[in-house]
């Protein structure tokens, strides 16, 4: 089944630095969503970007979508120790209802 692939698989940065992670997918999508998962907890929705959008912001988060390259990026600016988590992209295909297909995630460690 179609799946997003995140890159890098792991990322370690200092507090205050920016963190960028990428997601690539294979087929046309309706929308792409980013989720965060803290250790031992469920997933929390961060942001949704539709196929006709190119960029969205939410607080310190910036998401871009390039449908020609079938890729998306998530930028976390001025990272904090609390941003330490795994970040997943999930795609929703056209005519697939609301079915999310997740990638393998990027594990981000923000060192104080």
Partner 1 sequence: EAGVAQSPRYKIIEKRQSVAFWCNPISGHATLYWYQQILGQGPKLLIQFQNNGVVDDSQLPKDRFSAERLKGVDSTLKIQPAKLEDSAVYLCASSSDRKETQYFGPGTRLLVL
Interface residues with partner 1 (CB under 8 A)? Answer: 1, 3, 31, 33, 35, 40-45, 48, 88, 90, 92, 97-105
Q: Find residue 20's DSSP bridge partners.
A: 75
Three-state secondary structure call for residue 82: helix
Q: Checking DSSP bridges between strand 85-93 and strand 71-76, what pairing results, if any?
A: unpaired
Closest approach of partner 1 to the CB of residue 97, in Å: 6
Considering beta carbons, is residue 62 or 102 the nearer one to partner 1? 102
Q: Rounded to an integer, what is the distance from CA 78 to the centroid of its chain?
A: 17
Considering the complex, state which of residue 5 and residue 15 has its C-beta at the smaller distance from partner 1: 5
CB closer to partner 1, 12 vs 18: 12
Shortest reach from residue 21's CB to partner 1, in Å: 13
- Is residue 19 within 8 Å of residue 108, measured between CB atoms? yes
Identify which of residues 35 and 108 has a Cβ nearer to partner 1 in the complex.
35
Q: Is the dihedral of CA 85, 29, 73, 49 positive or negative?
A: negative
Q: Quickly count helices (H) and strands (E) in the chain.
A: 0, 11
Nearest distance in Å: CB 32, partner 1:
11
Closest CB 41 distance from partner 1, rounded Å? 6
């Amino acid at each position: 089944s179609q799946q997003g692939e995140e890159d890098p698989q792991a990322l370690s940065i200092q507090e205050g630095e920016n963190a960028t992670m990428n997601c690539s997918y294979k087929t046309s999508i309706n929308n792409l969503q980013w989720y965060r998962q803290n250790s031992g907890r469920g997933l929390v929705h961060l942001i949704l970007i539709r196929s006709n959008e190119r960029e969205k912001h939410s607080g310190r988060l910036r998401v871009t979508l390039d449908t020609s390259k079938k890729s998306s990026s998530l930028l976390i600016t001025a990272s904090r120790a609390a941003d330490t988590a795994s970040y997943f992209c999930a795609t929703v295909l056209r005519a697939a209802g609301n079915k999310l297909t997740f990638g393998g995630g990027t594990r981000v460690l923000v060192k104080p």
